[in-house]
Amino acid sequence: MPSLPPETVSCEIAPSVRQEPWICRLSVVAPRELRGVIALDEAPRTIGRQADPPLGSSVPHRTVSRRHLEFRWDPKACRHLVRDLGSRNGSAIFGQPLGELPRVLDDNAVLRFGDVVAVYERRRGPLVDPPTVDRAAVPGEALAIVALRAAIARAARDPSPVLLIGESGSGKERCAAELHRLSRRRGPLVTLNCAALSPQLIESQLFGHQRGAFTGATQSQVGLFRAADGGTLFLDEIGELPLDLQPKLLRAIESGEILPLGTTTHLRVDARVIAATNRDLAAMVDAGEFRRDLHARLALWNLEVPALARRRVDILEWIERLATIWAAERGLERPPRIDLTPAAAALVVGHRWPDNLRGVHRLIHELAHREGEGALPEAVMPEWLKRQVASGEAPPASAAALTP
What's the pTM? 0.89
Specify the CATH class of 7-126 in words: mainly beta
245-297 pLDDT, tens digit each: 999 999 999 999 998 888 888 899 999 999 999 999 999 999 999 999 999 99
Q: CB–CB of 162/156 below 8 Å? A: no
Q: What is the pLDDT of residue 201?
A: 86
Q: CB–CB of 372/362 below 8 Å? A: no
Return residue ranges of the chain for CATH 1.10.8.60.
Answer: 309-390
Amino acid identity, residue 368? A
Contacts of 287 (CB under 8 A, 6+ apart): none
Q: CB–CB of 95/385 below 8 Å? A: no
User: What is the 3-state composition of the chain as percent helix, strand, coil, each rounded to the nearest 5?
Assistant: 35, 25, 45
| Strand pairing class (232-236; 257-258) | unpaired
For residue 27, report the phi and psi dihedrals to the nearest 5 degrees: -110, 120
Q: What is the pLDDT of residue 12?
A: 56
Pick the closest to residue 42 from 27, 62, 22 (CA basis).
22
Q: CB–CB of 97/390 below 8 Å? A: no
Q: What is the pLDDT of residue 237?
A: 97
Q: What is the mean pLDDT of each run of 10 residues along the chain (404 residues)?
A: 54 59 96 96 95 89 97 94 98 96 97 98 93 97 98 96 97 97 96 90 85 68 92 98 95 93 88 98 97 98 97 97 95 93 97 96 93 88 80 44 38
Return residue ranges of the chain for CATH 2.60.200.20.
Answer: 7-126
CATH 3.30.67.10 fits domain 159-304: no
CATH architecture of 309-390: Orthogonal Bundle (1.10)
Q: How far is Cα 143 from Cα 146, in angstroms, rounded to an integer?
A: 5
Q: How far is Cα 178 from Cα 163, in angstroms, rounded to an integer?
A: 14
Return residue ranges of the chain for CATH 3.40.50.300.
Answer: 159-304
